[in-house]
Amino acid sequence: MLNPLVSVVVCAHRTDRYQDLIDAITSLKAQSYAKIEIIMVIDGNLELHEKIKNQANDSRIKVMLNEKNLGLSESRNRGVSRAKGDIIAFFDDDAIADANWVEELVKMYQEMDAIAAGGCILPLWLTGEPKCLPEEFYWLIGATHKGFPEEVKEVRNTFGSNLSFRSDVLKALGGFRGEMGVKAKGQLQGEETEICDRMRDKFGRGVIYNNKAIVHHKVFPERLRWRFLLGRAFWQGYSKRVMKERGYSLAEEGKFLNSLQNGIANRAMSGSLTKYCQLTVLLVLTSAVGLGYIYRAVRSSFLS
């Protein structure tokens, strides 16, 4: 794939994240790889649309407005429908891309013949790094968790702020499932996992992970509160059960649970107060995931 056009789809909904959206777009405009277009999808927020439209004074930027809140998955699909790129990448409105992010993704298509590629998401702590949050659970805050490879390697999926597909592959898959992903009070998660699992079933290949394709994801204070972490963990477990009911494999989740055993043992024998704190949090969050999974299983049995 020689000098492909890359379409970067960014979805936004909240007016209070306007400056974060500006930061995100600024990082995309500064990419070392020049052949890109940026598609902003403003989801059901006319005020935000008007504000950002006045800032989009760049021929590479297209701004779309959903008249009502459609949710993240459908907004991404709408962005894809406008994309002209050979590669379509997804990026969050509260993320900042390294200058060579797109270039590193493109390398995977040129050198590895990828059909999908993603990279590393590093947490950008806005109020300091929490010592008690175990790295195994960084996925709760939208960052790459402990256990991802440290070299170029095929994985099942990366996260939605650092994920891309060959456009023909993405369109053959029919896009993201609209019932999954953030939507108002909707809590069904795992839309990236679902589409990548579907891709592996259809094409027999996963996502090429390049740890040099780096995105920094802002971690706001509210994302470190127990209410957020426990809620997200619970609904992640719930969503995984939904995927199992629909016939998707949870083999990767099984491997993750097995890897937690080492983390538990190492911390239990560490003699460190910080490690003991991490151990406690790890056990609580794992229990929350399990509770969500069991709740969905019981609910499904009553509904069937």
Collect the ranges in the chain with pLDDT lower than 70.
182-187, 304
Strand partners, 165: 88, 116
At residue 183, the pLDDT reads 64
Cα 44 from chain centroid (whole Å): 21
Closest residue by Cα to residue 70 from 165, 176, 168, 161: 176
In terms of domains, do 147 and 80 share one? yes
In terms of domains, do 176 and 245 share one? no
In terms of domains, do 20 and 117 share one? yes
pTM of the model: 0.94
Within 8 A by CB and 6+ apart from 191, the residues are 72, 73, 160, 176, 177, 180, 181
Structural domain harbouring 147: 6-224
Sort residue 190 into left (φ over 0), alpha (ψ -120 to 50) or beta: left
**What is the number of structural domains in the chain?**
2
Q: Answer yes or no: is 68 within a domain.
A: yes
At residue 73, the pLDDT reads 94
Q: Answer yes or no: is 274 within a domain.
A: yes
Phi and psi at residue 65, to the nearest 5°: -125, 125
**Alpha helices (runs of H) in the chain, residue ranges in sequence order:** 18-29, 46-53, 72-82, 101-111, 167-173, 191-203, 226-245, 251-268, 273-303
